[in-house]
Amino acid sequence: MSARPLRLRLVLRDVGAGAAFASMAVSGQLPLWTLGLFGLALALALLGKRVFARRAKLTAVLLLGVAAVLALQVMSGAMNMVVAACAFAGLIAAHRMLSQPDATADGQTNLAGLLMVAGGAALSGDMVYGACLIGFGVLSSLALALGVVEGAVPEGEPVPVRGVLRPLSSGLAFAVAGAVAFFVLFPRLNWTVVGPRSAPGLGAATAGFSDTVRLGGAGTIKGNPRVVLRATLTPDPGLDALGAYWVGRTYDTFDGQEWTSVGAPQKSGESIILRPGSETLVHQRVELLPAYGGRTLVALEMPARLGNALVHTSLGTRRTVVQRLGGGEVRFVESGISYTYEAYSLPPNAEEGSTGKLSRAEHDQLLALPEGLDARVAPLAAKVLDGEREPLAAARKLAAWLQREYGYTLELSGEVADPVADFLFTRKAGHCEHFATALTLLLRTQGISARLATGFFGGERVDGAYLVRAGDAHAWTHVLVPGRGFVTVDATPPAHRPTQSSAFVQRLLALYEALESRWRNSVVDYSFRDQVDAARALVRPPRGSEERTPSRLPPLRAWVTAALVAAVVYRAWRALSRWKRRARPMEATRFVDAVEARLAQGGPPRRQGEALEEFSARLAREGHPLTPALTPLTRRYLEARFGDRPLVTGEAARLLESLNRALEADAARRRAP
C-alpha cells in the first residue's frame, strides 16, 4: 500500500511526456530554445514545483504569444510547419505539467504527448524514436490507470498501488501484444510512399570533401566510427567486408603543401556521364547520411554515370540536379541534410581504355612537380625502380617498397615546411595521405603520369546493405596506364586502410546499426507487400527443397507456425477460463446494493448523490461509531470491483453481518436516554 499514490502517478505522467518530447528531439530539428524550456519544465515538474498553478491565465496568454512567434517563422519560411507544430506541442505539454494537477491537466498532458509522438514519427521515425514511443505508451498508460483507481478510492484512504500494478501490467502487456498484432496484420501503405524523411541527428558532421587536401597534422578522422553512407549493390557480392574503393574526387596539382585540381566546373543536370559504360556495370543505390556533411557524390571506383538524385531537407524531399567539377568530382547543387542517388561503375579489374574527359591542361598536370621539391626524391625513386619503366609495374614496386620501409601512424606533429621530405627522409611514418602523395610524386619524377584520389575504403555488410564509416576515409594513387586508363595503386599498408577506431566501439555500433536497419526494414518501411511475403514464407517450401523428393506433408515452418498459434490459443483459453471462474463485477455490485439497502433502513442520514466511498470517508472524518465496520467493507468492495481481488465464498455475508451488528449497536445507542 502507498500513502502517496498521487506523487507516483504524476511522476509517471511527466516522465511519459518527457519520452514523447524525446521522440521529437532525437530528430535534431527542434529549436534549441524549446529543448531548454521543456527540460527545465520537466525538472521542475519532477521536483513537484507546479509554478503555473496560480498563474494559469497569464501563462496561457504567454503560450499564445509563443504560438504567434512560431506562426510568423513558418510564414517567413524560417521554420518548417511540422517542426513548428512539434515545438508548440512540447510547450503545451510543459505548461500543463507545471499547472495545478487535476483530471483536466492530466488529459491535456497525455493528449499533448500523443501529438508529440505523432510529430516524432513525421520528423525521424528511427529506432531511438521507437524506444521513446514505447516509453511514452507504457508510462502514460500506467499513469492513466492509476488515476482511475485513485478516483475510486475514498478521500483519505490509501490506494492499493501494489495490488493493482500487477493486473495493470498484465493488461498493458496484452494491449502491447494486440498493437503488435494489429501492426503486422492490418493492411497499410509503406511510409516511403510519401517520401523519405531525414533528420540531421544529434552529432556534428564528420566527413565530406573539400577543394584541397593539405598534408600535415594528425589523421583524427580515421578513429571516427560514425556511418556516413549506406549503399546497396546490384549485383550483390555478398561479402561481409567489402574491400572496395569509393572515390569522391581526384587531385592533380601539388604545391608542396596541398593538393588541388586544375579542372573547371562543367554542366549540371539530373545525370552526369563520366566515362563510357559497359554491359556489366555495378549499380549502387547510395544514401549519404547526415554524418557525412558534404555534397560530393561517392561511388565505387571508375564510376560511369551518377544521377537520379534526391535531396532531403527539413522542408521535405525533392529531386535535385548535380554538377561536374574539376577532378572528376560530381557535387549536389543544393544543400541538404542528406542525399539519395544512384551510381553505375565499371566492375572490378575492368579496363577503362581511356582517360575519360580530361582536358589538355589536366592531362599535362599529371606529370607536374612542385617547385622546390627535395632533390633527393627523384634519385630515390630511380634507385627503388632499378630501371623499371612500365607504369603499373613501377607503381606496384614503389608501393610495396613504401609499405615495407615506412610505418603508419596517426600521431603526427603540426605542419612542417616540406611534408613530403619529412615523411620520406626524416620521420618515415605517416597516414594514407602521406603514402599516396609520396607514391604519386615518386612516379612523376620518373615520367609516369599519376594523380591523387580520395574517398573511402571498405564497406561493412549490415542487413543487405554496405555501411561506410567516417574512419574509412582514405587516399590512394591513380596511375595512368596506356591502353587501360587509370589504375588504382595503394601504397598504404593494407591493415591501415579501413577505419582505425576501437574494435569494441565498432562492435557496439555494428550491433546498433543492425538493430536500426532491422527497425527500418521491419517497422518504418513495413508494407502490405511485406505482409504478403511473410504469409507466403510460412507455407512456401524451403529454398532448394524442389530438388529433393516432394513430400505431401507441410514444410517444417508451417508446423512451427501452427504450434505457436496453438500455444497462443491455449494460453488465451486458460486465461479466459480463469476469468470465468473469478467473481464477476456483478457480484460486487450485488454486494454493494445490499449494503446500500441496509444503510438506507437504519444508517445515519446521507447527502443526496453521496457515493458509498464518500459516505464512508465522511463518517471516518467525523469519528462516527459506524466507521470500524463500514471502512473495511467499503475497501473490500473497491478491491473486488476494481482491484482484481474478488470476494471469496461467505465473505460478503460476514461483512454484512458485521455491518448489521454495528447498525444495531448504533440504533441502541441513539435510543438510550
Name 311's bridge partners: 318, 339
Q: What residue has cell string 504469409?
A: 535
Phi/psi at 497 (5° precision): -80, -45
- Using DSSP bridges, classify how beta strands 258-260 and 253-254 pair: parallel, antiparallel or unpaired: antiparallel
Three cell numbers written together for 418: 616540406
Q: Where are the domains of the chain?
A: 5-186, 213-515, 540-581, 585-671
With 0-12 / 13-18 / 19 or more C-beta atoms within 10 angstroms meaning exposed / middle / buried, residue 493 is middle
Question: Under DSSP, is residue 306 helix (H, G, I), strand (E, B) or coil?
Answer: strand
pLDDT at 438: 95
Three cell numbers written together for 646: 474478488
Three cell numbers written together for 651: 465473505
Entry pTM: 0.59
- Using DSSP bridges, classify how beta strands 268-269 and 485-489 pair: parallel, antiparallel or unpaired: unpaired
pLDDT at 569: 77
pLDDT at 207: 59
Q: Which residues of the chain have pLDDT under 70?
A: 1-5, 125-126, 154-157, 178-208, 217-221, 223, 314-315, 351-357, 413-414, 500-559, 561, 575-586, 643-644, 673
Please tell me the distance from the alpha carbon of residue 89 to that of residue 274, in angstroms, as a whole number: 49
